[in-house]
Structures are given as structure tokens and as C-alpha cells.
Amino acid sequence: MSDNEKADVKIPQRKKKLGNQPFPFAELPVELSIRILTLAIGPSQQTYRSLLLLNKPFYNLILSEKLLQRVSVLLSKDYQILAFHNYLKTHPEAASQIRALWLICLSPRSCRRVRKSSIAIIDACINVRALACTPEHLMLSGICSNEEESPAEFKHTRCVELTLNDFDVTWPHLLQGNGLKLFNQLSHLNYVGSLPSSSWSDISTLLPTLPNLTRASVAINTADYMRIPMRIFTEVLRSPNLQQLVVTTTLNGDSMRNLSSLIQNLDERCCVMHRRRRWKEKNMWLWNLEDPERFWRQAKEERNLPPPPNPLD
């Protein structure tokens, strides 16, 4: 082959695979970028943190659009609460973006250790919509301030969902001052801690009538459920807007069947939902944030199901 013929020969070029090219996210319209990030983050604080660390453009876009509002801040370890408190000290503007906040440590010792930090976080997050904490931290915070000489201004006007991890609540102390304002605006009230025997006969712990309450749940796991006076639910069932009262339990077999009979005979709005193995308290809280009707819909669907058998049967 002559040199001229060789020059005329065209060597085929390899086509670039589209899969090797990065997605041109930076070239998308800002509105579409924000929409994609919003769906990607959802309520996950892990995804939110990962995207912040991705690169500077993502970091700036996420912060400028205040996507932290869509994240569920779940702090269940003492070191997490302490770290988040320090973060709010250096970034106080972030506190106003928090809409969902879980501040419950399973260990009583940890709860005592982070008492001041937990109270400070509650006081800072004035725009929180869904709050989960201990009754003690709630009572000591400004959200339930009842100082007669210099009462604190009630700022948590958006909080409509409250989750408490302990039924040991003295309502006359809570339903005063700012506490009364808080509970009067609640639409959802959940007790994720088991009802202790010390509360069964104490009239000061009876669930109160609340004007805007639509949904309530209480955990009862003790085998001594027959000793629980059903009058603890009398007042809350008088709430004018109440649609559903769910009792969650780990009881099985005849124990759950008897408890269901007691609860469901109180009112057609009452039902019992079995807490399955590895069912976590915070899962219910997260369900309500992702799908507000999921837990309540499931409880209604399981109302007439037979109870699970005892493990030893």
C-alpha cells in the first residue's frame, strides 16, 4: 500500500461510553437541583451530612436553601446530644431550621448527664414541630416555663407533636403557664415508655382532656395490666377532636387478647397494636414524620387481628 493510500485510510475512533461521563448536576436549573436534593435527603440526617461533605457547591446550595428543615434530628446517645449542643453554639442560625427533634437517651444516667444540653437545645429550637424528650427536660425548659415573677415568652408555637418516654408525669405541674399553651396546641401525643405501676392509682397522672388532640398512643407492656384502672383514659377520650387512641404492647396470647378487650371496650376509637420484635420506639416517631398516617392506619387495620402466640407455646 502506497503512502497516499495509507493517508486515505480512516482509523475508526472509539466511541466514548456515556456511562463514564459524570452527570452534569451543576448544569441543571437551580429549581431542579433543589428538588433532587430535597428528595435525596428526605428526613435522613446521615444523607444530609454526606451531601454536605460531597463538595463546596453542594454544601453552599444545601445551606442556602435551608434543607435542614426537612431533616429529622435524631439524638439518642449522650455524646450526640453534647456534640449537637456545641454545634448550635457555633451555628446558632441552624436552630431555627429544626422541625423534628428526638432527644431521648435510653440510659437514665445519660439523661442526667446531658440534662443541661438537652434543655438548651429545646430552648433554642423554637420552630420545632415534632419533639421527643423526657418529661423532666420538658418541664425544666422554657417551653413549659411557669415562673410567676418573670415568665418566659412562649416561642414554641409550631410544636404540635409531642413524644414523651416516661408516663411519670404530674399533669398539674405541666398544665400551667407555657405548658398549658403547649399542650392546648398539640394534635399528637405519644408515650413511648411503659406505663409504671406507680402511676396506675395516682390521679395526677391521668391523661388530660386536650382541645386540639387528634391522635394519642400509650405503651403498656407489664403483665400486671389487669391492675391498670381504665379511668386513666377517661379524660383524654373527652378531647373533642380525638380520632384515635392506640395502646402499644409487647404482650402475647391471652394477655394481649384480654388487654385488647379492656381497651377496645372503652371506646370505638381505641385499639391495641402489638409491638413486634426489634420494634423501636423511635421507629414510630420516624414513621409519623415520613408518612403521618402510617402508624395510625396500621393500628386501625390490626384492630381485629388475633394476638400473636406466646413464644413458649
Average pLDDT (68-83) is 85
Spatial neighbors of 87 by CB under 8 A, at least 6 apart, are 94
Of residues 255 and 213, which shows the higher confidence score? 213
How far, in Å, CA of 262 to CA of 21, rounded? Answer: 63
| CB contact burial 45-76 (16+ within 10 A = b; e otherwise) | beebeebbeeeeebeebbeeeebbebbbbbbb
pTM higher than 0.85, yes or no?
Answer: no
pLDDT for residue 216: 94
Q: Where are the beta strands (DSSP E) in the chain?
A: 72-75, 100-103, 130-133, 161-164, 188-194, 215-219, 244-249, 270-274
The secondary structure of 56-97 as a DSSP string is HHHHHHHHHTTGGGGSEEEE-SHHHHHHHHHHHHH-GGGGGG
pLDDT for residue 120: 94
Spatial neighbors of 4 by CB under 8 A, at least 6 apart, are none
CA quadruple 177, 182, 184, 185: dihedral sign: positive
Average pLDDT (57-72) is 70
Give per-residue pLDDT as tens, 235-256: 899 999 999 999 988 888 888 8
Residue 143 pLDDT > 60:
yes
Residue 132 pLDDT > 60:
yes
Please tell me the least confidently modeled range out of 1-5, 296-300, 307-311. Answer: 1-5
Residue 18 pLDDT > 70:
no
Residue 163 pLDDT > 80:
yes
The mean pLDDT value of the chain amounts to 79
How far, in Å, CA of 208 to CA of 91, rounded? Answer: 38
- Only one residue has cell 461521563, namely 21
In whole angstroms, how far apart are CA 193 and each of 49, 111, 132, 169?
30, 14, 12, 12
Give per-residue pLDDT as tens, 147-162: 654 567 889 999 999 9
Domain ranges for the chain: 25-67
Residue 308 pLDDT > 60:
yes
Name the band, by pLDDT with cuts 50, 70 and 90, for residue 305: confident
